[in-house]
Amino acid sequence: MTDFKKIIADAISKVINKESKELETYIEEPKEVNNGDFAFPCFRLAKELRKAPPMIAEDIKAKIEIDKTLIENIEVIGGYINFFVNKQALASEVLKEIAETDEYGKSKIGKGKNIVVDYSSPNIAKPFHIGHLRSTVIGGALYNIYKYLGYNVTGINHLGDYGTQFGKLIEGYKRWGNEYNIEENPIDELTKIYIRINAACKEDESVLEECRNNFKKLEDGDKYCTELWEKFKTLSLKEFQRVYDILGTKFDSWNGEAFYSDKMPEIIEILEKSGKLIESEGAKIIDLEDKNMAPCIIEKSNGSTTYATRDLAAIMYRARTYDFDKALYVTSYEQVLHFKQVFETTKLLGLPEKYTKGLEHVPFGMVLLKTGKMSTREGNVIKLEDLLNEAVLRAKNIIEEKNPDLENKEEVAKKVGIGAVIFNDLANSRVKDEIFDWDTILNFQGETGPYIQYTYVRTKSVIEKAGEVPNIKDVDSKYLLDDYSSRILKLIYNFEETLNQVTEKNEPSILSRFLIDLAKAYSNFYNENKIIVDDKNIQNARVYLTYATGKILKTGAGLLGIEMPDRM
């Protein structure tokens, strides 16, 4: 497809004798339609060319040579050169591309590059609550989008299946296991034990010491502790899988923290040889004071390892196994310091710089209750499975009220309910905290997942009324030059660029925003242009644009992990 940005950059490059690729990065898309389709700001050239930006803009405009069949007008406003794309050229390009591929916007930009995405990562024997939803859906969306752009992607569920909490659970089970039926309702019963043992630890330091000893025994392979740990893990994974099935989430690897237990001695040995591993109050640490950070604890005073040790072992393993160009860690911003410490310590492992540079923490804000932060220890969590089931139930109630004769109500309710929850989580910048509110999360009005689904269903309905999607040979783009049509076409043209921006910033909300804008643009087009008309040429063009819109809405929503119903 014609790259208008490149055409503009090439033309400017010939005027000012500067690299076209660099100039292309300067080009912006104006927010105001009246300011054109692309804008070139001249401010960054002022020092180099020793002229005021408005003068540079006028000089470039006077000398530039550009194909008028592609760029129909150029205007200067202040220090900006605004370029207006030929509407018919844009329409022809987009519609031709839509006709030629089933995977519009897909590219090979990531060919030969390996991406590891570490996401979801719930803790074994703890409720899979709404706090885990963010990591699961943000990571899932990034996984899908990187893959769509040609990257070789590995999705890893780094399960929290190791650590002191298991020492606590083992101790609680030793004391009161016969009081709880963990076979029948594992997560709820184990959570009760966990809350109870935590209370005991607060009251008596010796109980906490017993818990720590249990974890050390687990690390050392104690038969009783290992068998209990395996039982807790098996029962938990069965529960988690039910939630993943509802969300449609899949992983390429389920290697959790415990997988690295036999790989940690190598890490400790390498760090010792580096001369940077020192003793402090009986523990082994990496001093990061020169980096203005607290020390990275590698081994506790009782000899047991830490999250950091296991993360370092995971980085070493992933570098060797996946040869990653990027390794993304999708976790809450509460772990920002942890990953800064781990990434800094990774530089001591002797890995090639490619791997240490490719490590990226992708933090997100917390999901908070109206009463504050959730805590398994305190027992105030909302289970994700309950939330998803409630969302489906509410969607079904709305369908019963508005369209009681709809076929496959159960299936549609599931797509709408789950879609609403996923979109709500991906609609805003990932770093923002999200206050959980049933009324907000399941509001089916406004900028929501159901609104996008409804718009898609409307495109299907239009095509059904038309009887078919016209052949591209019977579509004349000159009938799509009105502002409402052009707005849709420009958005569709920018779809691939939108996906590139998502991966540049690891920010799925960029795609969410795009889908809302496209749905709104189609709604305006639908309201202002009659589609089924007597003039077959006009109808063909408008029906094909409707088809193109539906295609992109479905593709984009699918990349976010949202399924589209054909009817609502």
Domain boundaries, given as residue ranges, for the chain: 4-85, 114-368, 384-560
**Distance from C-alpha of 133 to C-alpha of 117, rounded to nearest angstrom:** 15
**Distance from C-alpha of 544 to C-alpha of 510, rounded to nearest angstrom:** 26
Q: At what angle do helices 4-16 and 53-63 cross, to 10 degrees?
A: 100
Rg of the chain taking only CA atoms, in angstroms: 28
The amino acid that residue 160 corresponds to is G
* CATH code for residues 4-85: 3.30.1360.70
* Residues of the chain under the 50 pLDDT cut: none
**In this structure, are residues 485 and 91 in contact, taking their beta carbons and an 8 Å threshold?**
yes
Query: What is the pLDDT, as a whole number, of residue 32?
Result: 86
CA distances from 361 to 112, 139, 196, 318 (A): 22, 12, 34, 15
| Secondary structure (3-state) at 282 | coil
**Distance from C-alpha of 532 to C-alpha of 529, rounded to nearest angstrom:** 9
Find how far residue 16's CA is from the centre of its chain.
40
Dihedral sign for Cα 501, 330, 425, 247, please. Answer: positive
Give me the sheet containing 80-85, strands edge to edge.
38-41, 80-85, 71-77
**Distance from C-alpha of 70 to C-alpha of 2, rounded to nearest angstrom:** 9
Q: Is 278 left (phi over 0), alpha (psi -120 to 50) or beta?
A: beta
Q: Which two tokens stand for residue 61?
A: 């405009």
**Distance from C-alpha of 78 to C-alpha of 352, rounded to nearest angstrom:** 48
**In this structure, are residues 537 and 428 in contact, taking their beta carbons and an 8 Å threshold?**
no
Query: What is the pLDDT, as a whole number, of residue 147?
Result: 98
Widest pairwise Cα distance in the chain: 86
Q: Provide the 10 A C-beta neighbour count for residue 3.
A: 12
Q: How is domain 114-368 classified at the architecture level of CATH? A: 3-Layer(aba) Sandwich (3.40)
Q: Provide the 10 A C-beta neighbour count for residue 239.
A: 20
Helix (H) or strand (E) holding 61: helix 53-63
Topology of 384-560 in CATH?
Answer: Isoleucyl-tRNA Synthetase; Domain 1 (1.10.730)
**Distance from C-alpha of 295 to C-alpha of 64, rounded to nearest angstrom:** 57
Closest of 237, 360, 257 to residue 317, by C-alpha: 257
**In this structure, are residues 163 and 257 in contact, taking their beta carbons and an 8 Å threshold?**
yes
